[in-house]
Amino acid sequence: MKTIAGLGKLIGILVSLHSVSYAQSFVELANTFSRTLPAGSARMQAMGGSQTALGGDYSLALSNPAGLGLYNRSEVALSLGYQSFQTQGRYFSGDLISDNNKDSKSQLNLPGISLIFSSPKNGQHGFLQGTFGISYSRLNDFNRNIQYSGTNPNNSLIDFFIERANGRESTQFSEPTSQGGGELFNTLTEMAYNNYLIGESTILNPANDPTQYFTDIDGIPLQSETWETRGAQNQWTFSYGANLNDKLFLGASLGFASIRYESTKRFREDFDSSQPLFFYEAEESIEVSGNGVNLNVGFIYRPLDALQLGMSYITPTSYELSDSYTASIISRWDNFEYTPGTILSQESSSIDPAVIEEYRLKTPGKLNLGAAFFVGTAGVITADVERIDYSGARYKPLGGGLPFDNENDAIKEVYQDVFNVRVGTEFRHQKYRFRGGYTYMPDPFVARQNNQRQDMQAFSAGLGYREKNFFIDVAAVYRCSRSSYRPYSVDRPDSPLLTFRQTATSFMVTLGFPF
């Protein structure tokens, strides 16, 4: 019963919280900002991100700073990347299925840069070496495009607006006052009302209930939507690793993270000539930005020359964020006489100015365990397990902002803790390196959303070349995941559903210069 209650709570929150009406909710965004992919150099990307028990790479500043203790030279490194994202989905409501809804997005990016200072100490026992590192890494890439379309014979977004409006008089669309009202002020439902897509039932008959609403549109809509997201999560990391007797390596780092996220959804319904409305289009945009801080501590222990064991803990990242929410609806009518003297042709309504909200978000901490097995000088096989509890994300208002009790309760109900798995291998032949890896990230939801798993898999491979004062690594990573999305939910079993498959192909090259 807990799972069913949690899923029901999530559905309610996805369409009603704070400034977001049918766009992404705070509950969804908490997961978006918490679920980060393995980051780091091309070497580590090629090995599936499995790195907790390894060393000698700037990526360890993010995963396990103890690995910096294995450096024996200073180094500067630069990574360059290219990513291509594709989505392909099926959109349906009831018996409707619309295939071949595809879109893609490609771009160049800067996955990382680093500067490593290694300071070997004289002696053969005790503290042998200390290494300080400064690095910049991309934790998350939000650049995606999704689009779909299909004829929906069962319902319309207008039905969603009516369900939200029913039960209160039209003062709910006005700015709130000391006498009340304003429950749906600055929402898409208010703009639907202002565009005459819905109206009080008293317009039809003054004796009708003023808390009930109707629409003049009863046709079958051709629905279409585009959803564009932009931005990234990045982190500057200041780290230190120490080498004790070539057996125990200790490390700590301080991370300064940033978020820049933009999401724009444009939902449109077109109607045939039998209807008084040609079409309407609803647009919502949200921009989230801010900064956060975290700590990372870890160790690597070498009980045998052929074996290294590592563990690290990354504390929750505490962000201070602000978001800006805007929305609008435009509608084109066939010179329709809505009421005597009111002729509808082209209508529009928007939120002006944008709704601004400031708050804190704490994303969950991460516990990493890893082991690396060395086959002499021929190579290494490594594996990591990462535990992250997505239900641990929490919001807090800044200043006199709105409370987040409902959002935090929903996060606890619908998300769960998972164990991410990463494995990788590297084989060496003279100056050349050959690498491969695999990553699996389980579904973060307690219950399957729309009978669909939301897990992710990644397959990777790469090459490397080493010289005394120069190295180059290249990596290719293919990620695939399945997900689902409802543009809106109505109180009936045939709410529209988009199920889609996302794939991402990325290429990275890291250039390094030891000194």
Average pLDDT over residues 324-333: 96
Cα distances (angstroms) measured from residue 340 to each of 344, 349, 487: 11, 22, 35
pLDDT digits (tens, 9 = 90+) for 400-411: 767 899 999 999
* Among 141-155, 161-175, 201-215, the least confident range: 141-155
Which of 2-6, 64-68, 350-354 is predicted with the least confidence, judged by mean pLDDT? 2-6
The residues near 19 (Cβ < 8 Å, ≥ 6 apart) are 186, 187, 286, 323, 325, 355, 357
Provide the strand spans (E) within 340-496: 342-350, 355-363, 366-374, 379-389, 394-397, 417-429, 432-441, 456-467, 470-485
Q: Provide the pLDDT for residue 15.
A: 36
Read off the pLDDT band of 18 (50, 70, 90): very low
Do residues 198 and 336 lie in contact, with contact meaning Cβ atoms separated by under 8 Å? no
* Per-residue b or e along 218-241, where b marks 16 or more CB atoms closer than 10 Å to that residue's CB: eebbebbbbbbbbbbbbbebebbb
CB 75 within 8 A of CB 22: no
Contact 260, 269 (CB under 8 A): no
Question: How many whole angstroms separate alpha carbon 346 and alpha carbon 335?
Answer: 8
**Does pLDDT of 357 surpass 70?**
yes
Cβ atoms of 118 and 74 closer than 8 Å:
yes
- HEC secondary structure over 107-128: EEEEEEEEEEEEEECCCCCCEE
Phi-psi region of 236 (alpha: psi -120 to 50; beta: other; left: phi over 0): beta
In a 13 Å sphere around the CA of 11, the CA atoms on its Cβ side amount to: 19
Amino acid identity, residue 265? K
User: Would you mind telling me the total number of residues written for the chain in this entry?
Assistant: 515
Q: Which domains does the chain have, with CATH numbers?
A: 2-156+217-514 (2.40.160.60)
What average pLDDT does the structure give for the chain? 89
